Structure 1
């Protein structure tokens, strides 16, 4: 196998159609999580995708992401699904419960459907609504969006290159 093929050339299938990607975002802390979406959309274009190749979906909170991702994966329309959300520690058990449920749910979706699912669902401890924390996480979501775009494009290309069973 020739590993020198560029990632950009691998994003277009033999039929000339680029794979579609679904981006599912939780609406809680939208001002912060939107940074991930914007960064993802900008960064994925560096990997040969166009903005029209990405379908954007919103759900109420992070807990709702796995079911939405599963339905999208089952549709057969998407080569990958990216999930973004912010689960904050409000000082009660819910933080750990939600975070674990979301991450486990996303892993289950990809294993059951064969569609890769990428998590940009962050679960910081001791989040505060002060300007310093909000600014830090807005910047961090920019980084996570770019990382998710790279991982998504790379994985879609590598899976497409695997022999079909």
Structure 2
């Protein structure tokens, strides 16, 4: 009896700013892709969201991964840098995807309002888990459409 081929490897890059929240996105992503038959994704951690595109690019160029996802939280810290950071990260991820032909999925979120108090932390922790699951489903969907899944 022949076995079906194992689906290709997936990686996820996660920023460490607000790690307790971002980790939930990684957990949701991991649950979704492993439920679809993929191995546990390779996890690469970076200090902040701004560092995500370079790590994603290195993974995509390695030839070892059929998709790379990114998880991060960019917040308004009161100095108006968040919009620039979020834009740079998303633009960088799109450039990597187009240059490498490896699907790159973004779970880098920029909430309109985020304050480090219990109510927001609890809400965004739940929200990021859901978004991670949606990100995983999107990865599986993209790979299925592209014929990369078995």
> TM tier, shorter chain?
over 0.9
**Cα deviations by residue, 1:54-108 (Å, 9 ceiling, x for unpaired):** 1110001000000110111111111000000000001122100100000000011
Q: Secondary structure at the match of 1:120?
A: strand
* Match in the other structure for 2:77: 90
User: Which of 141, 155, 158 is matched with 2:142 structurally?
Assistant: 155
2:130 aligned with 1:143, yes or no? yes
Bigger Cα Rg:
1
User: Which of 41, 44, 53 is matched with 1:66 structurally?
Assistant: 53
**Bigger RCO of structures 1 and 2 (CA < 8 A, at least 6 apart):** 2
CA distance in 2, matches of 1:27, 1:19: 26
- Asked if the contact 1:23/1:56 (under 8 Å) is kept, the reply is yes
Q: Secondary structure at the match of 1:66?
A: helix
CA distance in 2, matches of 1:128, 1:93: 15
Runs in 1 of length 4+ with deviation above 4 angstroms?
A: none
The runs of 5 or more residues in structure 2 that have no matched partner are none
* Match in the other structure for 1:131: 118
- Asked if the contact 1:90/1:126 (under 8 Å) is kept, the reply is no
TM-score, normalised to structure 1, is 0.85
**Cα deviations by residue, 1:105-158 (Å, 9 ceiling, x for unpaired):** 001100111001000001012310010000110001011111011000110121
Aligned residues: 146
